[in-house]
């Protein structure tokens, strides 16, 4: 990131719910002002617990949360004022839409007329003009999400926290809402940390993605970096789809054997990998393509499965050595049972331990 | 099934339930109102011009409002403390917090008399400690009545608010905190408004109970008159017209309060997500940590003392306890007499059998009523909702008097059956008093069920009966068990309606306690009280057992 001091720092944050295993294990993360960072991981990976420690709802067993150089680890949530957007939105059912949005201002003692006009403004900012008087119960899921966002943004939080903000929306609404979310946060220059289990959401909204598994931070980087340069097998397996093929690394080359032929590919090894020795090539479906029969560096195989996925078709091709390669192609006239030739179309390929 | 056929099916159940309730709840009370006009307006004029009646009305209202304030003052903080704060001794305090509700009204009053009365243990103890000539206080008048009410009725507030707090979606509180709201602002603007239905509901319950309360004013009133005791006095004097007017005034006042609070409750009811999980915070300040267990111990002692006192006196030799702080001589005689004298067995057997009959009736009628109210749509729904809530508002004395004046002869044309003077009049009274308890608790459970479950079951081809048995019944179970338990506890110690309706043959335990007290046989009275407490305990254990047996079914239906 930029050389400026980070806005928010998570320093070796740790939380144990039992002696046996830490739910969050020494997670460190730096977030710059105005940056959108997504915390992703499977359920139980510790992402929500991490977020709750940042918000102050959960007290860490170790480590620190630092905001603009100030240690805020022991501050209660009401003094941090990060304005969290909850998974189920947590809108106050006894207050109107306008009162919900104005709540943070009311808590600060802002006069009624001012807070209501600012709430109206905030609602207009999320496309809900004139909704102030409505009851929470009358809102659709998407509207509730936007009210929750407006309610959190109105207090101008130093960092906006969002816990699975899109998971309660249907797929179509979800796509449009996440674009809105990104453009709103961008427009306002908000720093945000959001938790999601959906990598598509993370890729669409975040500048950087932090992947957690079993309480540990596996890798932080742009979506492209995580996809193209996974730090280890777990990242490669979690982010996107891939076929993992064993091989031998030699500097910036990896030799893999599928069937009888040894092929050498240009390699982009993970940073902590020894430069020589056994390693695993990560073959992404979009870095593989069909080749003319007997083409150079191509493997013969039989199509096992053909799945239409809109712009692309996803094929599973069984090559020698019982390996199934997954590949995406715009080629449509290949059918299951056909013999095809497959080659790597984009190099270097990622290499992990 | 078409909408119309569905409604026809609904009527099949609704009609008998409505008829039973109209006959047992509305009819007797309507006949009281009619009776008050038997001599035109004469009885009403008599009431309005009687200074004692006007004073009784005023005192009743003062005591009721005072009881509500005192119960909220005790119950609300205790509910917050026990659900939100973790401290040493919390579990013990939680365990005994609801103990006063398990004390039958008359027993509670008797225990208070033994403890805080002029010759009570605490009174004498303080007197001896300070070397006073006289007792430091007297236990009578409005203050004493409110004191006893606060002890027994704060439990309603405590239970309602605790349940509300446990259901509260904790993310709402967290969201408010994240928006910068301080603890007190959150309490004022989020927690308390969301608890309004629970608080209002419990205040309603306390107000109704205090309005109709009979035992405390009857024993501690001294010269003080309240409406419920006036009714019994007028009846004993043969002034039935006046008794009807007094009953009508009391019942109408209570029903007005019920309607008012229902309206208020409905305005403030929200579907609160059940996602909440209670998080107890630890006490941070050192002094609070040191004080909490001490305050806890004092509270536990205060709560347990009445029970302990009753048990102690049950072992005191009758006639020996005169001026000493504690009874001087102890014996098993009181219980030995109870066990050997078959005459003394009669009230115990009466109470048990009458309670069982009333509770079974309550379960059948109220399960159907709750099912109809929550899961069926039909035109007379409002009437059913009113009928099941009505006995809540009608004081026990009024219910007793209504039944007494309705079922005093057999008349086919008047739809009357002679029950007065028979065994059956008391189970009927207990049934009526149990209806609101069982139906509202069952309704509460059913409302938590996702209504699409019933549709889903029917959609899967389950018959009405199978759906009822496998989906509706398990979903209503927690409320049904809890409601039936409360109804049975109320019935086994019932005193207020019993004093109007009992005969020598079906006299319940409470009447026996009263007659033993009148004979100054304190030990025997206390022994009967201990039996009553044991019965309450047995009912609680049966309810727990029933709950445990079915808990697996519940886990499936209510996520």
Question: How is residue B398 written in tokens?
Answer: 């009024």
- Asked whether the beta carbons of residue B181 and residue A107 sit closer than 8 angstroms, the reply is yes
Encode pLDDT of B395-423 as tens digits. 888 999 999 988 988 887 777 888 888 89
Q: Which pLDDT does position B555 carry in this prediction?
A: 47
Q: Which pLDDT does position B556 carry in this prediction?
A: 44
- The SS3 of residue A350 is strand
> What is the C-alpha to C-alpha distance for residues B444 and B479, in angstroms, rounded to an integer?
7
Point out the residue among A81, A88, A137 whose CB comes nearest to the CB of B178. Answer: A81
Q: How confident is the model at residue B267 (pLDDT cuts 50, 70, 90)?
A: low
Q: How confident is the model at residue B273 (pLDDT cuts 50, 70, 90)?
A: very low
Nearest CA in chain A to B180: A78
Q: Which pLDDT does position B9 carry in this prediction?
A: 74
- Name chain B contacts of A76, Cβ cutoff 8 Å: 177
Q: Is B277 on the interface with A (CB under 8 A)?
A: no
Encode pLDDT of B355-383 as tens digits. 999 999 999 999 999 999 888 888 888 89
Of B313, B309, B310, nearest to B327 (Cα)?
B313
Beta strands of B349-498 (E only): which ranges?
Answer: none
Contacting residues for A129 by C-beta, under 8 A, at least 6 apart: A120, A123
Residues in chain B: 559
- Rounded to 10 deg, the angle between the B90-97 and B51-84 helix axes is 150
pLDDT greater than 80 at residue B500: yes
Question: How is residue A315 written in tokens?
Answer: 């094929």
Peptide bond into A341 cis (omega under 30): no
Encode pLDDT of B156-184 as tens digits. 899 888 888 887 888 899 999 999 999 99
Buried b (16+ CB within 10 A) or exposed e, B82-96: bbeeebeebeebeeb
Q: Which pLDDT does position A203 carry in this prediction?
A: 93
Q: How confident is the model at residue B559 (pLDDT cuts 50, 70, 90)?
A: very low
Beta strands of chain A (E only): which ranges?
Answer: 8-16, 22-31, 36-40, 62-67, 70-71, 84-85, 160-163, 192-196, 208-213, 216-221, 243-250, 253-258, 261-269, 276-283, 288-291, 299-309, 312-319, 323-329, 339-344, 349-352
Q: Which pLDDT does position B558 carry in this prediction?
A: 40
pLDDT greater than 90 at residue B209: no
> What is the C-alpha to C-alpha distance for residues B214 and B247, in angstroms, rounded to an integer?
13
Which residue, among B170, B174, B177, would best test binding to A if mutated, counting the most A CBs under 10 Å from its CB? B177
Q: How confident is the model at residue B557 (pLDDT cuts 50, 70, 90)?
A: very low
Lowest mean pLDDT among A253-257, B6-10, B168-172, B318-322: B6-10
- Asked whether the beta carbons of residue B172 and residue A57 sit closer than 8 angstroms, the reply is no
Domains and CATH numbers, chain B: 15-28+329-559 (1.10.3720.10), 50-305 (1.10.3720.10)
Q: Is A109 on the interface with B (CB under 8 A)?
A: no
Of B43, B78, B216, nearest to B156 (Cα)?
B78
Mean pLDDT of the B16-45 span: 91
Neighbour count for residue B1 (Cβ, 10 Å):
10
Domains and CATH numbers, chain A: 8-228 (3.40.50.300), 241-352 (2.40.50.140)
pLDDT greater than 80 at residue B260: no
The angle at the Cα of B107, spanning B103 to B316, to the nearest 5 degrees, equals 120
- Measured in angstroms, the CA of B183 and the nearest CA of chain A are apart by 8
Mean pLDDT of the A181-189 span: 90
- Name chain B contacts of A151, Cβ cutoff 8 Å: 175, 179
Nearest CA in chain B to A150: B179
Question: How is residue B433 written in tokens?
Answer: 């008093």
Neighbour count for residue B114 (Cβ, 10 Å):
26
Q: What are phi and psi of B103, to 5 degrees?
A: -90, 115
- Rounded to 10 deg, the angle between the B192-212 and B142-167 helix axes is 150
pLDDT greater than 80 at residue B5: no
- The SS3 of residue A2 is coil
Of B160, B161, B120, B166, nearest to B139 (Cα)?
B120
- Asked whether the beta carbons of residue A78 and residue B194 sit closer than 8 angstroms, the reply is no
pLDDT greater than 90 at residue B508: yes
Encode pLDDT of A275-323 as tens digits. 999 999 999 999 999 999 888 888 899 999 999 988 999 999 998 768 8
With the C-alpha atoms ordered B380, B381, B387, B388, is the resulting torsion angle positive or negative?
Answer: positive
In chain B, count H helices and then E strands.
26, 2
Encode pLDDT of B326-357 as tens digits. 888 888 888 988 888 888 889 999 999 999 99
> What is the C-alpha to C-alpha distance for residues B31 and B482, in angstroms, rounded to an integer?
32
Q: Is B195 on the interface with A (CB under 8 A)?
A: no
pLDDT greater than 90 at residue A217: yes
Which residue, among A51, A52, A56, A78, would best test binding to B if mutated, counting the most B CBs under 10 Å from its CB? A78
Mean pLDDT of the B437-450 span: 86
Task: Calculate what percentage of chain A has a pLDDT beyond 70.
Answer: 98
Tell me which residue has tokens 């990131």: A1
Provide DSSP, A28-41: EEEE-TT-EEEEE-
Q: Which pLDDT does position B550 carry in this prediction?
A: 62
Using the 8-state DSSP alphabet, how is residue B416 labeled?
A: B
Lowest mean pLDDT among A205-219, B275-289, B449-463, B510-524: B275-289
Question: How is residue B289 written in tokens?
Answer: 């940590």
Tell me which residue has tokens 């009305």: B57
- Asked whether the beta carbons of residue B176 and residue A107 sit closer than 8 angstroms, the reply is yes
What value of ipTM does the predicted structure carry? Answer: 0.84
The answer to whether A269 and A279 have CB atoms below 8 angstroms apart is yes
Q: Is B86 on the interface with A (CB under 8 A)?
A: no
Mean pLDDT of the B236-246 span: 91
Contacting residues for B111 by C-beta, under 8 A, at least 6 apart: B103, B305, B306, B307, B309, B310, B529
Neighbour count for residue B350 (Cβ, 10 Å):
22
- Asked whether the beta carbons of residue B178 and residue A94 sit closer than 8 angstroms, the reply is no
- Measured in angstroms, the CA of A189 and the nearest CA of chain B are apart by 19
Nearest CA in chain B to A76: B177
pLDDT greater than 70 at residue B303: yes
pLDDT greater than 80 at residue A154: yes
């Amino acid at each position: 990131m930029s050389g400026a001091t980070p806005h928010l720092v998570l320093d070796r944050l740790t939380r144990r719910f039992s002696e046996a295993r830490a739910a969050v294990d020494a997670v460190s993360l730096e977030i710059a002002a105005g940056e959108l960072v997504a915390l992703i991981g499977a359920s139980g990976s510790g992402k929500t617990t991490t977020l709750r420690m940042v918000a102050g709802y959960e007290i860490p067993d170790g480590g620190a949360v630092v905001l603009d150089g100030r240690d805020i680890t022991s501050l209660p949530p009401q003094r941090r004022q990060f304005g969290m957007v909850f998974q189920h939105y947590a809108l106050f059912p006894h207050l109107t839409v306008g009162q919900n949005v104005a709540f943070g201002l009311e808590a600060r003692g802002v006069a009624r007329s001012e807070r209501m006009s600012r709430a109206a403004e905030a609602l207009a900012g999320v496309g809900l003009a004139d909704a102030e008087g409505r009851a929470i119960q009358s809102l659709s899921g998407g509207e509730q999400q936007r009210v929750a966002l407006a309610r959190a943004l109105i207090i101008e939080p130093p960092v906006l926290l969002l816990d699975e903000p899109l998971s309660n929306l249907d797929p179509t609404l979800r796509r449009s809402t996440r674009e809105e979310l990104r453009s709103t946060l961008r427009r306002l220059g908000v720093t945000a940390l959001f938790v999601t289990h959906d990598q598509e959401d993370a890729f669409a909204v975040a500048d950087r993605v932090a992947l957690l598994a079993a309480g540990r931070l596996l890798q932080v980087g742009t979506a492209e970096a995580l996809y193209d340069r996974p730090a280890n097998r777990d990242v490669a397996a979690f982010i996107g789809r891939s076929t993992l093929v064993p091989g031998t690394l030699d500097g910036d080359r990896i030799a893999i054997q599928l069937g009888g032929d040894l092929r050498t590919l240009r390699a982009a090894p993970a940073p902590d990998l020894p430069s020589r020795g056994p390693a695993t090539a990560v073959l992404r479906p979009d870095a593989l393509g069909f080749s003319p029969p007997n083409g150079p560096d191509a493997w013969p195989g039989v199509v096992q499965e053909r799945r239409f996925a809109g712009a692309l078709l996803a094929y599973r091709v069984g090559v020698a050595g019982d390996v199934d390669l997954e590949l995406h192609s715009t080629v449509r006239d290949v059918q299951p049972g056909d013999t095809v030739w497959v080659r790597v179309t984009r190099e270097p390929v990622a290499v992990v331990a | 099934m078409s909408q119309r056929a569905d409604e026809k099916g609904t009527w099949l159940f609704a009609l008998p339930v409505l008829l039973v309730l109209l006959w047992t709840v509305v009819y007797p009370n309507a006949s009281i109102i009619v009776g008050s006009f038997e001599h035109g307006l004469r009885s009403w004029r008599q009431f309005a011009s009687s200074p004692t009646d006007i004073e009784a009305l005023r005192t009743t209202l003062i005591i009721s409002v005072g009881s509500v304030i005192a119960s909220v003052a005790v119950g609300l903080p205790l509910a917050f403390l026990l659900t939100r704060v973790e401290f040493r001794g919390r579990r013990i305090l939680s365990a005994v917090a609801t103990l006063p509700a398990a004390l039958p009204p008359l027993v509670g009053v008797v225990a208070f008399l033994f403890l805080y009365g002029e010759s009570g243990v605490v009174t004498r103890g303080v007197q001896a400690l300070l070397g006073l000539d006289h007792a430091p206080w007297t236990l009578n008048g409005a203050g004493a009545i409110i004191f006893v009410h606060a002890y027994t009725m704060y439990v309603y507030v405590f239970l309602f608010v605790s349940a509300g707090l446990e259901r509260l979606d904790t993310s709402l509180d967290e969201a408010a905190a994240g928006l910068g709201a301080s603890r007190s602002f959150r309490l004022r603007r989020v927690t308390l408004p969301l608890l309004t239905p629970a608080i209002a509901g419990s205040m309603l319950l306390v107000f109704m109970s205090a309005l109709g309360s009979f035992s405390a004013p009857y024993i501690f009133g001294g010269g003080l008159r309240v409406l419920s005791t006036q009714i019994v006095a007028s009846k004993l004097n043969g002034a039935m017209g006046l008794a009807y007017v007094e009953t009508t005034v009391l019942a109408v006042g209570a029903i007005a309060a019920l309607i008012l609070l229902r309206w208020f409750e409905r305005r403030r009811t929200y579907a609160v997500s059940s996602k909440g999980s209670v998080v107890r915070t630890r006490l941070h300040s050192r002094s609070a940590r040191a004080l909490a267990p001490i305050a806890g111990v004092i509270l536990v002692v205060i709560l347990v003392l009445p029970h302990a006192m009753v048990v102690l006196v049950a072992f005191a030799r009758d006639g020996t306890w005169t001026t000493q702080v504690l009874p001087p001589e102890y014996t098993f005689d009181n219980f030995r007499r109870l066990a050997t004298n078959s005459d003394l067995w009669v009230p115990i057997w009466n109470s048990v059998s009458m309670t069982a009959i009333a509770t079974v009736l309550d379960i059948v009628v109220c399960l159907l009523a709750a099912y109809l109210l929550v899961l069926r749509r039909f035109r007379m729904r409002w009437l059913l909702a009113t009928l099941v809530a009505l006995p809540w508002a009608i004081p026990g004395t009024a219910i007793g008097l209504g039944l007494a004046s309705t079922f005093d002869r057999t008349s086919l044309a008047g739809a009357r059956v002679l029950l007065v003077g028979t065994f059956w009049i008391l189970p009927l009274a207990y049934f009526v008093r149990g209806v609101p308890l069982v139906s509202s608790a069952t309704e509460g459970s059913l409302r938590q069920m996702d209504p699409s479950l019933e549709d889903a079951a029917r959609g899967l081809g389950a018959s009405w009966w199978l759906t009822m048995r496998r989906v509706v019944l398990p979903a209503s179970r927690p409320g049904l068990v809890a409601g039936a338990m409360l109804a049975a506890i109320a019935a086994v110690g019932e005193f207020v309606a019993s004093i109007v309706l009992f005969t020598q043959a079906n006299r319940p335990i409470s009447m026996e306690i009263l007659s033993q007290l009148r004979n100054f046989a304190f030990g025997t009275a206390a022994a009967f009280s201990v039996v009553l407490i044991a019965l309450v305990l047995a009912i609680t254990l049966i309810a727990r057992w029933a709950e445990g047996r079915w808990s697996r079914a519940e886990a499936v239906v209510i996520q």
